[in-house]
Structure formats: C-alpha cells, structure tokens
Structure 1
C-alpha cells in the first residue's frame, strides 16, 4: 500500500489527544449526596470494572475513527503497475493506429471506430487542466504539439484511415520526444491498435519508470483476408500482338480454402481478361493472366478481386509502355557483315541506323535502345566512356570483336565497365554446345531442340577472363567451356559480349537461326524498362530515363479518375529525371506524368501490403512479451468500452481505498454514539 499524500500521516500523532482526554476524565470523582447509609450501600455496589470497559470502548472507537479519517486524507492505494500515483497536472500522449488493417471488424463494429471511442474515454478520465498529444500513422505536424482536452477530443473524432504504415516503436519514439520536452513529471503513453504482428516490434521499445506505457488493443474477430500480394511479367518485353503472361501472387490469411474466386484484369479502362483461382487456407497461389496488346503506347492496368471487410488490397495497379519502335544504332568497322541490316531494316518495329566508326555522333546514343559495336578494330577512350555512360543510364550495348582486334582498347572499355578483360585470340575450332534456354532471351524461342541440331562453329575466338563477381550470364557456350555470348549488368543497362567475329573465315554464326533469334531478342530486351508499380509511403523518389525535353519545366502527376493533379519536385542527374513525391500520393491508382500537356510516362502506385497480413497478437501474448523483455512501467488494458475508465484509473492511481476508510470511520463514530447513549 502507498499514499498519495504521505505527509498527512504525521497527523496520526494527534491520536494522543483523545487518550489524554480520557485519562484525565477517568480521574474525576462524582459527588453524590445521600441522606442515609442505605443509599451509600447502593452506590458502592456499582462495579468500577463495568464503567472502565465502557470508557475503553469509547476511546478505542474514537481512535479508530480518527485514524481512518487521517488515513483517508492521505489517500492510500494499492498500486497495480510499476508507477506511483501522482498529483498535479498530467501530460498524456495517445497513439491511434489508423492504418488499413483497422478497417477490419469484430462483433462490436469497425476497429477504428472502436479505438476512437476508447481514446475518447481515456481523455474523458483526465482533468481539463491536463495536456494531451494525439499521434496517428500520418505523423502530421499538428500532432507534434501538446493541446488541451477539448482540442484532442475534436482531433480524435476527425481521424480516418491512411495508407501509411508505421511500426509501434516509431510511434512510441515520437510520443516520448514530445512528453520529454513537456517539462511535466506525470507522463502517460497510450497505444491504441490492433496489435498486428507485422508492426508491433516490442523489442525496439525503450521504456523507463518516468513514463507509463499502456497498450489498449482492439482486435478483429478473425484475421482472414484475401489479397493481391504482387505481380510481375514472365518476360521483361512488351510487344504488340504478342502473347503476354502476367503472374499474380494472391495470399489467403484465413483458415478456410477458397475455390473459384474471380480475378479481373482491365487495361486503360477496358476489361482484357477474366479468370479464376483457388487457394488453400494460410497459403498463397501464383496464377497467370493471359492477354495481348493490339496497339503500342502507355498501358494502365488494374487487377481486382472481391473480399470483405478489408478492401484496400483487393485492387492492384501497374503501369508500363508497349514500344512503338525500338531504336538500334550500329557502329560498323571497316569490313563488317551486313547481317544486322538484313534482320532489322525490313521490320517496321525496329528503327535501324548504321554509322561508320569514323563518323560517330555521340548525341545519337541517348535516343538509341541498343548500340551494336560491330567488328571495330579498336575502341577509342572517348567511345568507351560514352558506351559505358549509355549502359549506366539503362541502355544496351552489344560488342562483337573484329577479326583483327586491338584487344587492349577493348579491355580499356571493359575496365571502365568493371568487367573482366578479353584474352588474346585463340585459333582453334570449337562448336557451340550450350544454349541457356532458361534465360528469358531464349525462352519460348525453340519449341524443341533435336539431338543432332546443327550449331554454329568457330575457328577463332577471344576467351574472356572469368570473374565470379562480374555477374556474367553465359548465353551461348563452346565445347571447351569458353563463352561465345555473355550478358553483363552495367549500371542500369546491359552489355552483351561476343567471343568471336562474324567474319565467314572465323565463324558461321550468321548462317544459323540462333543468331537471328538472339539479335531480335537482344533488340527487344533493350526497351527501356521502368518499374511496374511503386509502393505508397515506401518509395518517395521515382527515377525515369529518356524523358523528352521541353521548354516547360513543370511536371504534373495526374490521376484522371479522381482528378488529383499535383506538381512533384524534380531534378536532372546523369541523364535521368528524378521526381520527388514528398508524400503527395495518398491514394493508390494509375497516374499520368504530363509535361507541356503531353503524357511522357505512366506510373502506378499501390498501398503497402504490410497491412494485409491482419494476424495479431493476443493481449496475453503482448503482456508475456512485456514481461520477457523487461519493459518497466508497461501494461495492457484489455477491457471493454464501458470499463476502460476504471482500468485507466487503477493503472494511473492504483486501487483507492480512502472511501472504505471513510465508511469505517463513520461506523466507528456510530458505535461511539451508541455506547454513550445506550450503555448506562
């Protein structure tokens, strides 16, 4: 037991006063006049012991009454937490989780509404003179200051769901910062949430004895939720009139298996595919959506399912472009083959240009998707720098050595790209024996490969040094293990490095269909690939390349469905354009990036799927973690709305017993009155 006002206990010394009064009162003798000896005999017969018992009982009842009153004024209580009850002005911080998972329901209604009502009850417990802070997942500026009781009540009523997801430790840290700077000693933190496992990192909480921390859970009746987790294309190339395979991962957090759930795909507002899927309980399924594009341009796609009550993750947005043309620039040596012009010039999908090595215009590089370095005898340092720059910005370069190659100049370029060097030419016959059919470049190219297939043969080649850190992917390999065609990642682009010239004297590569297939696929894969989608709250910078230039310097990000139009900050850096969103995208959807009234890109934004896993801790699990982690002055208030003020009061001030002492004092005084009045 503890006391709020322990200094009042000094008044217990006042109990000596009635003791002294009674002692002196007992020594007084009563004079009785009597006329004869018979009356004197009656007086002597009255026993002194009976009178002494009566006075002792009266004294005892008075002492108990006074002691009870003194103890009641000291306000004793039994603490139910690590903190002591306090008096004076208090400062209270309330974190109200308003993430999408709070849209779930239990038997009493929507979780967010229930949490708001609990927050209002907590505020109602405190006095008008106390100070308050409200913080939500939005981390708004107005939530970083202390306000009065009336203001915090209004702010709680205004809270709505937000796509932003924060860990409980982040919210707690912001609460502590405000309370520690308040200058007040009586501090309390309340964390109202659904105890979602994804966000409740209790191991990162820092607690101390000066601030009481209270978890106030509002948990859904069932964690079941069906949602679209992620999407990706099976291949990175989008082409007109070519079959597309969109992979969709769908998760089921519920216990029950779901059968034949519809899945709809719409592109630019037109339904393109309608399929269905089945998924087991507490599992996921990867399903494929098949469709094709009948026209080039920007594509704004939407995938959707139907599930309740959590609906924010039923829709998934993605944006991409289908190229109208792929620009190919050939840099030819002194006596190159015309194989590339034969492959690309008659296909309208490819814009093919050829330039002599003595007449290279570096300004053409930025508009080219693929640059083919076709049998140059040497590569100047300037050309090497421009090629590496082109790859760093996302372009592709295909390097084919000449029959007579200055290997050192090639290695200068490879060194700038941080790739392993070529070795001197080896004159020996070898045949292609390995085709990497698992690589997207060759996936779907061959229906089947016969055992006796006629594969290319080389009589001279340039072996490359092997380096495990170079990230080399061998596409075509010779019998002796040397690579004839390899892929390397350079910056945001790619280099395709050939191991032999196309000269008929040194290889018959151009006579085989595999060369044509490789050339077409490398050209297709050189399309600029942007992200299919961005996650709101997690990716605040969008990096784009090859945006058209304009005298207009202001970009507009426009959602044509909702009418949202805002101006993102941007900067040009190393040939790329970076857009800074600064949290302006608050709603998921497909957006158009507009410059000078012309759409230059299409961007998709989705809500974070962290909130989709609605599995939560039980209150007992949280309390167990609190005990295991040794979090002091921390407790869980697991009560209904009608009794939350009682629990808050007990945690804040302990279980008070002063009213019981007052009743006890009144009983003692009543006993004293009865003794005086009826004991004769």
Structure 2
C-alpha cells in the first residue's frame, strides 16, 4: 500500500486526546454514604468491572476513529497494473451522428463528451492531449463544431502520428463503423484503450433514402406527387413525417414501421408554374437520433413551355385553342415569311406549317433549331412542294402525292411509349380520324399510320425531337383536329422536349458538386451564402456547367444561396444534407462492447456514461486503486460503535 499524502500522519498526535480523556474523566468518583454496605460488596465489584470494560471499548473506538480519519486524509492506494498505462491521449469523434442526444441526457453526445473533456482538463492539465478523429489538435473549452464530411476514424493513422504510449480514451457515439474499421488496432495488445459508450440501448432512426416527382405525364394539371423513400434502422416507433415549404406546412404523415423496414409515402403538391425553384424540407420527430431529422431538397420547376406556331396565311384556330390562354404554355403565332429566325432559341416547341414558300433558308434555320434539342413539328399544307428539303430532317425518299381521297388511320400501337397514359386499351373497331396525305416517305419512327401503311405522323432526328405529319390538319383535308387524339398527341409532343420537374440535393461528403445553370456568365466568381456565413469555393464554369469544390469542414446542412461574389446577384439555391453513412450505421451499446472485448485486457469498457466514472478510472490509472473511501467508512463505523457501546453497555 502506498500513501498519496504522507504529511497527514502528523495528525496522529490527536490520538493522545481520547487517552487523556480516559485517564482523567472516567477516574473521578462520587462519595455516597450507606449505613450498611455489607450487602453491596458483590454488586459493587461486578459494576466496577463492567464500567472498566465499557470505558476501554469507548477509548478503543475513539482511537480507531482518529486513526481511520487520518488514513483517509493521507489517501492510501494499492498500486495496480493500470498505473503503468496512464491515459494521456483523448480522441474526440466529431462526425455528424454525434449530434444525436446522449441516452438520458438533455445534450448531444458531442456536447456531453466536450463537457467531460473540460472537466478532465481542469483536473489533469499536464497529462492530457486532445485530438479529433481527423488528427487535429483540440483544446478544452473550444467551440467545437462537427466535421460534416468525415464519417470514419482511422486509429492506426492517428496513433502513429501522436504516439503509442499510454492509454487512449475514445469519446464517441460508437457507431459500429468506429469499432469495426479498427478491429486490428484494438486486437493489438501493445496498445491500450478506454471507451465509454453513451448508449445502453441502440436507438432507432429514420433514414432518408431518396425523393422524386411523380406526376401526370401529359402535365395537363399542375398537381404532382412528391414521393419519399425512407428506411428505418432499429425500431424508432411511431414517427411523424412533415413536408414544409419555407417553414409552411404542406402535409403530414404518420408511420409506425417495424424494425429495419422500408416505406414509401407520397405528398400532393400544387406546383407554382411561375416559381422556378421551391425550397422544401422533410422533417421527422425522432426522439434520440436527432441530427438528421431534417432533409433539405430543392424542387426545380420547368416553368411554362414556350410554343411558337409559324404559318403563311390564315390563323390555325385548332392549334391556337390547344396552347392559347393556358397556364402551362406561353404561346405565340407568327407569319413564317416575316419571322426573324434568330428568335427561335427563345421557344421550347416550334410548330411549322410548310406552304409553297418554304425554302432552303427556312429549312436551315429550323434544322439548326432542332439540332439544339428543341422540339420541331412540321405540318405540310396542300400546296407544299419542296419535299427534297425534308431530307435535312431525317426523312428519306420523300415524294409528293397527287390529290386523292381521304384515308382512315390505323389504331395506334398502345405499346409504343409515346402513347403511354393516353390509352388504357384500344378496341379493334375504334373510330379513327381520316386525312388526305400530301406526301409519303420511307424512314423514321412511325407513330400514326394510314390503313394503307403510309405514315401519318413520324418521329426523326438524333434526339428523336422532329415530328412530321404527312397531311395537312386543316378541316378541309382531315378531321384529325376534331378527334379525341388531337389534344393528347400535341400535348405529348409539346412536353417531350421539356425536362420533367425534378428535385435536387447534395450530401456534405461530396467533394465536388456539378450542375448546369445557363443564367450564370462564364467569368462569374460565385459564393455560397447561408445566414451570416459566406464562402467562396474553388470553382469551374464552362458552357453553363458549374463545378464547385466544397470546403472540407465549413459547409453545414441546409440551404445555401449561390450568388455573384461581386454584384450579389442571386442565381439559385443548393441543398446540403448529412452523409447517408452517418444515419445508416447502428450503434454498439455498453453491453455489446463488454461482450465484444470480454477477452481483451487492453480494452477497458466503462459501463456508466458520466464524469465521475471517468474521473475515478483516470485516478486509478494515475495513482492505483484508491483506499481513502474505505478508511472513511471505517471511521464512520467507529463513531457508530462508540454510540452503541454507550447506549447498550450499562
């Protein structure tokens, strides 16, 4: 047994006090006169012996009390094997999952672990070196923020950098990857570790898997369905999922999935066609794993589709009725002979009625327009003759047909993806429109055909974005404009060249993010802005494609505005979320780690997650096994013994 404070033994001189009390206080006598003491001699002798024994026992208990109390102050300890491996390195896990609540605590695991470090630094200032999972040095009472990109701890690399002596204290939430990725390090008996897990039961969690838009493919309404795919890890119980737009609640769902299950839920959206971007968030009310309770994403609306109708003479009321005064379309009708073709780029769809004045200049302009991936619709008038120009649009062997009778169209092939969601089924004797063909060809994908095999509507072009009719759709040549196929066919064509509404989001562990935005000039210096935080990442802009290299530890989850660093012009928003790996990993509990390291003498698992447990262990590591508390108990028992002797022995 060793003594921490040997100077306390000077207090042993206090042992003389109860001895003096015994010698003087208990030897005072009182005289009592009796007329005849003959009968009291035997009783007097017995009482005298009892009092002597009682006084000796009281003296002994008082001496023991003083001795044990002095020993308590001297702080004796038994030297232990732990004293040869004092804790001198603390590794603090700052990965995102440590923002979850510690079990039974009001603070997150990261906050609780930092509080532990602060207390330990105050008590052992000369012994402790503190680093994070990336090897960066830390100080007590630092304002610690998570490392949102990092999701792993490589102990071998950290120990090589900071030395292998002593014991290493690991403060983490102990996701399974923390232990599993370092099994070889923990099995090395030349290294010693102390771990203190914050969970006695592994908490359940909701994991955001993916989000996408599911809507009417014809887009004839503004309603869309936003689909959320989520998974459960463990058993989080009954959880509410809410969808918000700019802190405004749009919808709410309640799920009660079984352990480790998957679920898909939908929310109806009433899209604002004039709002190009919508900032949306999914929120859950998980009780413990709270760091990833919000999922940020941006919905990019396609906006109105710009449709241009070019014709030579009269206004086509049938086509105008489809697109004019429609919330989904911006429609213009121009004379093709007076039109400035430089404006073609402003439109998503160009419908061209080709007449006798259709020439090579117009064909070249329309060919360039289609080459940009825009949707082009060609409709011949009865006086169209320049069939040789159609070879530029992918039609071969085009020949003009002589005036002939109207021919009925065949039933459409509902297996063709073009007709998806237009027909559920077709009848054999379905009433089809009829038309008088102006020309014929032998190429392209035929979408609608006459019963004689001639094409009525074909699709060509590298991007399959050129649609050509073989007949005029005027009422004098065809009743197609009066048929039920007219509206869905033209709407399908109009939306075929327009990208669907999409949702976009990024994860914080992505080093480089790339996206396209044609509104940003090539020489622009971009910045990311969120609240009072402004960052200028490394960037590359080329042809509308933008690549940003994210700062390693400065980006946090949420929405960041992408702006011009000089003019502060706002371009778009970027949505960032915590890495999936941080949410998907389950945790090792205290009992799990006890069982896992039951045969490993170099790994000490502290079962209780509190500062006193850790302080006691560090003191034992520093000084050996403390005995002062046991001497304090013995001192108190000595006092109790004195009280019992006085009361029970008469």
Give the alignment partner of residue 578 of structure 2, picking from 607, 620, 632: 607
* Contact in 1 for aligned 2:376/2:467 (Cα 8 Å): yes
Superposition TM-score, scaled by structure 2 size: 0.59
Q: Greater CA radius of gyration, 1 or 2?
A: 2
Question: Within 1, Cα distance between the matches of 2:136 and 2:590?
Answer: 28
Match of 1:300 among 264, 274, 279: 279
- Cα separation, 2, equivalents of 1:461 and 1:502: 12
- Whole-angstrom distance in 2 between the partners of 1:495 and 1:627: 66
In the alignment, what sits opposite 1:286?
A: 264
CA distance in 1 between partners of 2:256 and 2:187 (Å):
50
Q: Distance in 2 between matches of 1:201 and 1:611?
A: 15
Match of 2:153 in 1: 168
The yes-or-no answer on 1:218 pairing with 2:210 is no
Match of 1:665 in 2: none
Per-residue deviation, 1:280: 3.5
- Structure 1 SS opposite 2:215: coil
**Paired residues of 2:216 and 2:224 also in contact (CA < 8 A):** no
2:23 aligned partner: none
User: Cα offset for 1:323?
Assistant: 5.4
Aligned to 2:251: 273
Q: Secondary structure of the equivalent of 1:300?
A: strand
Which residue does the alignment assign to 1:255? Answer: 235
- Kindly indicate whether the alpha-carbon contact (under 8 Å) linking 2:409 and 2:432 is maintained by their aligned counterparts in 1: no
**Map of 1:425-574 to 2, 5 A cutoff?**
431-435=410-414, 442-443=420-421, 452-454=429-431, 462-463=442-443, 495-496=464-465, 498=467, 501=470, 503=472, 512-524=483-495, 526=498, 531-538=503-510, 540-547=512-519, 553=524, 555=526, 557-559=528-530, 562=531, 564-567=533-536, 570-574=539-543
Distance in 2 between the 1:208 and 1:333 partners?
84
- Distance in 1, matches of 2:442 and 2:88, equals 75
Q: Name the CA distance, whole Å, in 1 between partners of 2:582 and 2:263.
A: 19
5+ residue gaps, structure 1 = 1-75, 146-150, 412-421, 466-473, 658-680
State how far apart, in whole Å, the 2-side matches of 1:120 and 1:483 are.
80
Match of 1:576 in 2: 545
Corresponding residue for residue 53 of structure 2: none
> 1:190, 1:386 → 2: CA distance?
67
**Contact 1:377–1:404 (CA under 8 A) maintained in structure 2:** no
**Comparing 326-335 and 215-224, the one that deviates more:** 326-335
Q: Secondary structure at the match of 1:218?
A: coil
1:320: Cα distance to partner? 2.9
Q: What's the CA shift string for 1:653-678, capped at 9, x where partnerless?
A: 9x999xxxxxxxxxxxxxxxxxxxxx
**Aligned counterpart, 2:39:** none
What pairs with 1:147-186 in structure 2 (closer than 5 Å)? 152-155=139-142, 158-161=143-146, 163-169=148-154, 172=155, 175=158, 179-180=160-161, 186=165
Per-residue deviation, 1:196: 1.9
Does the CA-based 8 Å contact 1:111-1:194 persist in structure 2? Answer: yes
Change (3 A) 1:616 1:86: closer
Question: How far 1:519 sits from its partner (Å)?
Answer: 2.9
- Report how far residue 198 of structure 1 moved: 6.0
Q: Deviations over 1:264-311 (max 9, x none)?
A: 333344333345444344323222222424662242233333232333
Q: 1:167-209 CA deviation, whole Å, 9 max, x = no partner?
A: 334xx47626xx34x6x67487665433324676528978997
Q: Distance in 2 between matches of 1:273 and 1:570?
A: 37
Q: 1 CA distance for matches of 2:333 and 2:166?
A: 73
Q: In 2, Cα distance between the equivalents of 1:424 and 1:303?
A: 56
* Normalised TM-score (structure 1): 0.57
- CA change 1:476–1:266 in 2 (3 A) is farther
Q: Deviations over 1:502-530 (max 9, x none)?
A: 55699987664435324324434615856
Aligned counterpart, 2:109: 111
Contact 1:252-1:284 within 8 A present in 2 as well: yes
Pick from 589, 592, 608: which aligns with 2:558? 589
Change (3 A) 1:508 1:187: farther
Residues 585 and 346 of structure 1: CA distance in aligned 2, closer, same or farther (over 3 Å): farther
Question: How far has the Cα of 1:134 moved from its partner?
Answer: 0.9
Q: After superposition, what is the alpha-carbon deviation per residue over 1:613-641, rounded to whole angstroms, capped at 9, x for unaligned? A: 3522457877999999xxx9985745546
1:19-418 superposed matches below 5 A: 92=89, 94-107=91-104, 110-116=108-114, 128=126, 132=129, 134-136=131-133, 139=134, 143-144=135-136, 152-155=139-142, 158-161=143-146, 163-169=148-154, 172=155, 175=158, 179-180=160-161, 186=165, 191-197=170-176, 202=181, 212=191, 214=193, 216=195, 218-220=197-199, 221-226=201-206, 228-235=208-215, 242-255=222-235, 258=238, 262-293=240-271, 296-297=274-275, 298-322=277-301, 325-328=304-307, 343-347=322-326, 349-352=329-332, 361=341, 364-365=344-345, 367-370=346-349, 387-388=370-371, 390-391=372-373, 396-398=374-376, 404=387, 409-410=392-393
> Which residue number in structure 2 is paired with residue 666 of structure 1?
none
**1:144 Cα deviation (Å)?**
4.0
Q: Is the 8 A contact 2:527 2:534 kept in 1?
A: yes
For 1:626 and 1:250, locate their aligned partners in 2 and report how far apart those are by CA, in whole Å.
34
1:296–1:321: 8 Å Cα contact kept in structure 2?
Answer: no
For residues 447 and 387 of structure 1, do their structure 2 counterparts lie closer, same or farther at Cα, with a shift above 3 Å needed? closer
3-state DSSP class of the match of 1:266?
Answer: strand
Whether contact under 8 Å (2:393, 2:460) holds in the other structure is no
* Partner Cα distance (2:116, 2:218) in 1: 52
Cα offset for 1:442?
Answer: 4.6
Give, in whole Å, the separation in 2 of the partners of 1:586 and 1:499. Answer: 50
Contact kept in structure 2, 1:100 and 1:162, CA below 8 Å = no
| CA distance in structure 2 between the aligned counterparts of 1:621 and 1:487, rounded to whole angstroms | 64
Other structure's SS at 2:242 match: strand
* CA-CA distance at 1:234 after TM superposition: 0.8
Structure 2 contact 241–283 (Cα < 8 Å) conserved? yes
> Where does the alignment leave 5 or more consecutive residues of structure 2 unmatched?
1-78, 381-385, 402-406, 626-650
Structure 1 position 224, deviation (Å): 1.7
Report the 3-state secondary structure (helix = DSSP H, G, I; strand = E; otherwise coil) of the residue aligned with 2:494.
helix
Aligned-pair Cα RMSD in Å:
5.9
Change over 3 Å in CA distance of 1:320–1:185 after alignment to 2: closer
Distance 1:455 1:232, change over 3 A: farther
Q: Deviations over 1:379-405 (max 9, x none)?
A: 9899767755x34xxxx4357698946
The number of residues matched between the two structures is 517
The CA distance in 2 between the partners of 1:310 and 1:601, in whole Å, is 31
Distance 1:373 1:539 in 2: 47
Give the SS at the match of 1:168. coil
2:33 aligned partner: none
Mapped to 2, the partners of 1:530 and 1:399 lie a distance apart of 26
- Contact kept in structure 2, 1:241 and 1:292, CA below 8 Å: no
Q: Cα distance 1:447–1:656, how it changes in 2: closer, same or farther (>3 A)?
A: same
Contact 2:408–2:433 at 8 Å: present in 1 too? no
